[in-house]
């Protein structure tokens, strides 16, 4: 159940990332998070659709976190990159090379073997206020530092740092979400009276705007890989500190875990360098590689062309005589 919900979240995130990418790439002022960017996003239907899909994915993630653990759910979200490539291949007809397939298999196999060897456990601890404050301050400080570093420099570095900052923020968001779901067992009044709800809003909005900025300022491959690969490591650390979650720690298990993570990361980097991801956006001004390439757009274009040809070959009729 937990694995299914986490993979469903990964699929929703993959679809949402494409929609949101389409919604912000042509936005003005590509200099990081601004109110101008926010206003532009909410006026784009494709971006709003991506937001709705991502919100549905978040609900699925929240249920998975309530039942399972951070060190199981968050690593499974790496599957988003494999699903993203599959969507770009199936929907946008981008070519799948043998090395792309090999990278996808490596990512999936590395992730599966890591989880099988590590055997993530659900923690039994309930973090106290002091632990929450220490963890939150540390993560917010790291997110702020990464975000400030992403305000200047070459496009790839800005995308990398802003994506890493957003991913770190989302790791804290997952930990707070897990805590908030416990409040639902008490009642709606407990939910609205909890600090988790309001912290969730602040951290969620901040991380979300950082993610949109990462998509906008540089290559999609860099921002997407940073978003996907940073989160699991931060989440595993947070889960251990706050909830007492653990992985197998014998020498053999640790060695296998490291090797599995190496294979997973190598596969993810390979996918990020693939034309299916790296060339999602053409750097030339005003040109969008995805525009008009989806199967729905292709069908609409064929129908329009057929209608145009029929109209062109229809015999002209003389107007009736008075």
The tens digit of pLDDT for each residue in 52-68 reads: 998 899 899 999 998 88
**Which pLDDT belongs to residue 258?**
93
Residue with the larger pLDDT of the pair 240 and 37: 240
The tens digit of pLDDT for each residue in 79-130 reads: 988 888 888 888 777 777 888 889 999 999 999 999 999 988 887 788 888 8
Residue 147 has pLDDT above 70, yes or no: yes
pTM higher than the cut 0.85 = no
The percent of residues above 70 in pLDDT, for the chain, comes to 82
Tokens of 285: 């001004």
From residue 71, give the alpha-carbon distance in Å to each of 3, 75, 87, 181. Answer: 12, 7, 26, 17
Tokens of 295: 């199967």
> How many secondary structure helices (H) and strands (E) does the chain include?
14, 0
**Which pLDDT belongs to residue 157?**
85
Residue 288 has φ and ψ, to the nearest 5°, of -120, 120
Domain ranges of the chain: 2-310
- Indicate the SS3 state at residue 288: coil
**Which pLDDT belongs to residue 281?**
44
The tens digit of pLDDT for each residue in 251-303 reads: 999 999 999 999 998 898 788 777 766 555 433 334 455 656 666 566 666 67
Q: Which residues contact 201 (CB under 8 A, 6 or more apart)?
A: none
Closest CA to 68 of 122, 104, 7: 122
**Which pLDDT belongs to residue 33?**
52
How many Cα atoms occupy the beta-carbon half-sphere of 12 within 13 Å?
Answer: 18
**Which pLDDT belongs to residue 94?**
72
């Amino acid at each position: 159940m937990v694995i299914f919900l986490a993979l469903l979240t990964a699929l929703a995130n993959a679809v949402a990332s494409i929609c949101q990418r389409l919604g912000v790439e042509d936005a003005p002022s590509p200099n990081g998070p601004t109110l101008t960017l926010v206003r532009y996003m909410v006026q784009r239907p494709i971006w709003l659709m991506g937001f709705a899909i991502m919100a549905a994915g978040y609900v699925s993630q929240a249920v998975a976190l309530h039942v399972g653990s951070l060190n199981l759910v968050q690593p499974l979200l790496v599957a988003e990159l494999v699903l993203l490539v599959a969507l770009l291949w199936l929907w946008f007809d981008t070519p799948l090379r043998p090395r792309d397939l090999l990278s996808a298999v490596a990512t999936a196999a590395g992730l599966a073997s890591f989880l099988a060897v590590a055997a993530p456990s659900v923690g039994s601890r309930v973090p106290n206020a002091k632990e929450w404050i220490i963890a939150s301050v540390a993560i917010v400080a790291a997110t702020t530092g990464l975000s400030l570093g992403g305000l200047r420099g070459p496009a790839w570095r800005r995308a990398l740092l802003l994506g890493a900052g957003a991913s770190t923020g989302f790791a804290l968001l997952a930990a707070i979400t897990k805590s908030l779901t416990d409040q639902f067992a008490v009642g709606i009044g407990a939910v609205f009276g909890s600090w988790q709800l309001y912290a969730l809003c602040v951290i969620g909005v901040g991380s979300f705007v950082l993610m949109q900025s990462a998509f906008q300022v540089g290559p999609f491959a860099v921002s997407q890989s940073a978003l996907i690969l940073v989160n699991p490591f931060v989440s595993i650390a947070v889960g251990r500190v706050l909830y007492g979650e653990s992985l197998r720690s014998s020498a053999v298990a640790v060695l296998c875990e490291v090797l599995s993570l190496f294979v997973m990361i190598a596969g993810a980097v390979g996918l990020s360098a693939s034309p299916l991801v790296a060339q999602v956006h053409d750097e030339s001004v005003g040109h969008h590689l995805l525009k008009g390439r989806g199967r729905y757009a292709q069908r609409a274009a064929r129908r329009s062309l057929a209608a145009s040809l029929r109209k062109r070959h229809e015999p002209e009729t003389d107007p009736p005589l008075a």
